[in-house]
């Protein structure tokens, strides 16, 4: 396992020039601004377990109440219904943070209360152009990053790095054996069509204007509908993605890295690879809703989660990469092996970072997704 690659890969996000390697120095200032009370956390299903919650309480004296969700849209809709209240910590992907700012659902962070030196400098700086900083105000602390690539049954659909492609999901041999998430599956298909020279412009241009998006997505949608017989199951959350392989007979799919890692831990012969077109890469982080009641406890959680120990616990549990300085060195051998196998060769240099998804794009992409699902 190459720790240098894991720790510096975020430097290239969105072509932002990152800072130098993070120093192993960690500030000794207490991260428990609040040493009692509670914090209400609304986070992705599977991101926090009893071990992490107990460790946080032991370190800070704060009780953590964890409510899981399955999708970015579920999170956004719940926050809008509550007018930004009900939770102290939320966990959106960075490219969706502008949606929350637009509706006044998150508050600018007080950087003086955050142990910034605990976060990889490359993640901190790269997140600025990916959606975490708007009009000079930071609304999110980057905590983790991962990818969506190709999960595959090693027996039924063996794949190798360098030739593995999003196109493998859509080829005739995968008929009735594939799984994708509606909206991101269209992006993966688009990247394959772009590599084949079949899009009117690069996939990334779809995020620039509605005119560009329509020109690109019309081509993608037609191809997706023509090959829809390949899709045995669509997924929208982690449980559904795992179930596609575990109980519904899928042998290949475009899934999160954590999906394949969880299936492998169960003993299924499922692998995960970054496709040759570049794995779809996301960064996530924690934000504080505008109606949060427990601010000191929220900042305490942020600072605790950026400790090497917490970051390693998170990666060991999810196989998702922590942005905490020193976490990679503390991860388990299994987590290190998964990372090395998923991103061999030049895979880390070819990561395809999600651009900011503005509200108009999300609404339009959902229209195309619905047309695909109902076709």
- pLDDT band for position 36 (cuts 50, 70, 90): confident
Find out whether 42 and 78 touch, Cβ atoms under 8 Å: yes
Closest CA to 342 of 283, 282, 271, 276: 271
179: β partners: 233, 253
Q: If we measure between CA atoms, which residue out of 250, 251, 257, 254 comes closest to residue 277?
A: 254
Say what the pLDDT of residue 9 is: 54
Each residue's pLDDT tens digit, 175-219: 999 999 999 999 999 999 999 999 999 999 999 999 999 999 999
Residue 334's φ and ψ, nearest 5 degrees, are -65, -40
Mean pLDDT of 22-32: 38
Taking a C-beta distance cutoff of 8 angstroms, is the pair 169, 252 a contact? Answer: yes
* CA–CA separation, 267 and 269 (whole Å): 6
pLDDT of residue 171: 97
C-alpha span between 93 and 96 (Å, rounded): 6
- Among 301, 374, 359, 294, residue whose Cα is nearest residue 88: 294
Q: Grade residue 18 by pLDDT with cuts at 50, 70 and 90.
A: very low
What pLDDT shows up at residue 357?
95
Neighbour order of strands in the sheet with 89-90 = 63-69, 38-44, 89-90
Q: Please, what are the domains in the chain?
A: 3-145+282-348 (3.40.190.10), 147-280+355-374 (3.40.190.10)
> Residue 74 pLDDT more than 70?
yes
CA dist 372 and 34 (Å) reads: 48
State pLDDT tens for residues 257-285: 999 999 999 999 999 999 999 999 999 99
- Taken in order 88, 93, 97, 100, the sign of the CA dihedral is negative
Nearest to 238 by CA among 265, 264, 259, 268: 259
71 or 21: which carries more pLDDT confidence?
A: 71
- Under a CB-based contact definition with an 8 Å cutoff, are residues 8 and 18 in contact? yes
User: What pLDDT does residue 75 have?
Assistant: 97
Share of the chain above pLDDT 70, in %: 91
The answer on pLDDT for 324 being more than 60 is yes
**Mean pLDDT across the chain, nearest whole number?**
92
Q: Is 94 left (phi over 0), alpha (psi -120 to 50) or beta?
A: alpha
pLDDT value at position 81? 97
DSSP letters spanning 213-281: HHHHHHHHHHHHHHTGGGEEEEESSHHHHHHHHHTS---EEEEEHHHHHHHHHTT--EEEE--TT--EE
Asked if the model's pLDDT at residue 346 lies above 50, the reply is yes
In this prediction, residue 25 carries a pLDDT of 34
CA–CA separation, 6 and 288 (whole Å)? 27
pLDDT at 315 over 50: yes
The C-alpha angle with vertex 69 and arms to 97 and 288, in degrees rounded to 5, equals 40
- pLDDT score for 27: 37
Over residues 165-182, the pLDDT tens digits come to: 999 999 999 999 999 999
Quote the Cα angle for 143-129-305, to 5°. 10
Asked if pLDDT for residue 67 goes beyond 70, the answer is yes
Residue 138 has pLDDT above 60, yes or no: yes
Beta-carbon contacts of residue 200 (< 8 Å; ≥ 6 apart): 215, 216, 219
């Amino acid at each position: 396992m190459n720790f240098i690659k894991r720790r510096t890969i975020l430097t290239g996000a969105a072509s932002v020039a990152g800072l130098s390697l993070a120093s192993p120095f960690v500030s000794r200032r207490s991260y428990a601004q609040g040493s009692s009370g509670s914090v209400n956390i609304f986070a992705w299903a599977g991101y926090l377990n009893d071990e992490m919650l107990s460790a946080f309480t032991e370190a800070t004296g704060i009780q953590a109440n964890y409510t899981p969700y399955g999708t970015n849209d579920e999170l956004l809709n719940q926050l809008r219904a509550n007018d930004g209240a009900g939770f102290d910590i939320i966990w959106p992907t960075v490219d969706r943070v502008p949606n929350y700012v637009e509706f006044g659902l998150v508050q600018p962070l007080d950087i003086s209360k955050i142990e910034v030196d605990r976060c990889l400098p490359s993640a901190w700086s790269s997140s600025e152009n990916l959606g975490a900083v708007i009009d000079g105000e930071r609304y999110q602390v980057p905590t983790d990053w991962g990818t969506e690539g190709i999960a595959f049954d090693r027996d039924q659909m063996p794949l190798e790095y360098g030739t593995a492609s999003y196109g493998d999901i859509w080829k005739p041999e995968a008929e009735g054996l594939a799984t994708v998430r509606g909206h991101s599956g269209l992006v993966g298909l688009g990247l394959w069509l772009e590599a084949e020279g079949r899009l009117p412009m690069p996939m990334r241009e779809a995020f620039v204007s509605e005119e560009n998006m329509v020109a690109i997505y019309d081509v993608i949608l037609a191809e997706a509908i023509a090959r829809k017989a390949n899709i045995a199951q669509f997924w929208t959350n982690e449980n559904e993605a795992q179930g596609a392989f575990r109980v519904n007979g899928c042998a290949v799919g475009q899934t999160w890295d954590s999906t394949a890692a969880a299936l492998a831990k169960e003993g299924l012969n499922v692998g995960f690879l970054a496709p040759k077109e570049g794995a779809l890469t996301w960064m996530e982080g924690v934000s504080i809703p505008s109606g949060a009641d427990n601010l000191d406890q929220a900042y305490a959680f942020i600072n605790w989660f950026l400790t090497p120990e917490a970051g390693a616990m998170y990666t060991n549990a999810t196989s998702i990469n922590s942005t905490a300085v020193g976490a990679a060195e503390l991860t388990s051998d299994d987590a290190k092996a998964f990372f090395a196998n998923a991103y061999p060769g030049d895979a880390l240099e070819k990561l395809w970072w999600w651009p900011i998804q503005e509200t108009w794009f999300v609404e339009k992409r959902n229209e195309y997704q619905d047309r695909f699902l109902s076709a």
